[in-house]
Structure 1
Amino acid sequence: MEWTIANGVWNPVLRLLEPLDQSGLINIIFNNLGRDISAHPIAFLGRANDAQPGSIRRYANELAGGAQKQDRERLDWFSAMCSELAPEATSQLQTARRDYFWGNLKSVMNLTERDHLRRTLFALWDYGDPLENQSLHLEPAEDRRHAHQWFKPSGDPTRKERGGMLGANRLAIEAFPLFQSIAFKDKLSTRGFSGNRSNNTRWTWPLWSKPVNLDVVVSLLASPTIQHETITDRDNDSLRAMGIAAAFRSMRILVGKTPNFTPAIPIL
């Protein structure tokens, strides 16, 4: 996959071994996503829902004790979202409380249909899906500060009607293992993030202009250079040489007790 500019915006380009039309691609994606969260590698978060440190540690011991080659996917999911060294911490990509997050995961997986994927991948986003109980809270527009909206946040009736892109949320779930986390004191430090406080945490990610596979994508996401406060000319040359054509940054702020991402700004 690579990124290219079309109609003034960045668009992903997927390179395939054989021709595939829009409906064919959507069918392949839909048929491989699945609806049943209990059969998904992220199902272990159900144990974390009780927020008991022991449940995370026990599951980590189970995974490590009998790990086989075929368990790699489950291990990647666990190490992206949790750590037995900081059992009460969550990935910096997770902006909802554990119990809300788990419920929303189930709803997103169960409710996503082919048309949600089509609108996400092949149409201008219309934000025509409800937000209530079916959002991962990754969209900056979900900033619930009073000054940013007409209705009172706690009783906004529009959340039951519009504001989200269900297909985008469903696809985002599958990307979590790309953002591995490690324990740092009592928190998790997640790939692509810098800072660990409400006033200095930011998420920076690249777009690349050369076709690369998933392993290279992981390497690009982990680039330390794009985490620099300011991208210098030397940084720019280094990133361009790696095929990185652009980079964007979003701050992870705290609105009341709820984390939010700010609209992304280009830094490269």
Structure 2
Amino acid sequence: MSARPARILSIAGSDSSGGAGIQADIKTITMLGGYAMTAITAVTAQNTRGVRGVESLSPDFVAAQIDACLEDIGADAVKIGMLGSADIAEVVADRLEDLGKPIVFDPVMVATSGSLLADDATIAAFEWLMEIATLTTPNVTELAALGGADGMTARNDGRGVAYLAKGGDADGPMVEDRLVRPGHEDKVWSDARIVTKHTHGTGCTLSSAIATNLGRGLAMEAAIAEARLYVREALKSAPGFGFGNGPLGHQAVR
């Protein structure tokens, strides 16, 4: 009998076009051998060109989804993505504070298309989530909105929070991702940029891949390294769908 798959709970919004959010998370978790569960925070009407509409679910119903999963199946790791409102962010943090399992928080603020997915109140509510997260994965814009490297270091009574500063949306021929953890030397990964417009859901895919790898028992650096390789293969395997920023090829297997 084969070993049971790692149980991964994704708390995020739904992407009607299938490239990001819950849909990207389910595909990623499944392709990496995990068992995907979901707590949907919002539903969106979107495609590769942009977000046309967002309807957030009630905080109580988001909490009910989380409780239903954790009380029965349980979870080996959690990925948090788009939250939709400050109240949802707070109820998610409340439910996960004492979980005792790896939590990867992708502080989604803006979609690949440029559409705003978090207002100022929601971003302010990210503080609690960053404190309880095992790892926070901001891109360049999100890191700046969260106070930059200095701001991340000053959080949590000056001890700072662990974060992966992603460089995919920076300029230049190389993509650099930097892991910063209190009490550890920084770890940097650098690879040649894969030139493509089909990057919809890259952040969702990376964070859910890291969560899956942590849930499988990998150490932090190994979990990130494996997740980065998966994302790069998925970028190379993008099917070319849509007229805008198309989805990744989540079927990519290393």
- TM-score over 0.5 for the alignment? no
What's the TM-score, normalizing by structure 2? Answer: 0.30
**Higher CA-based Rg:** 1
What's the TM-score, normalizing by structure 1? Answer: 0.29
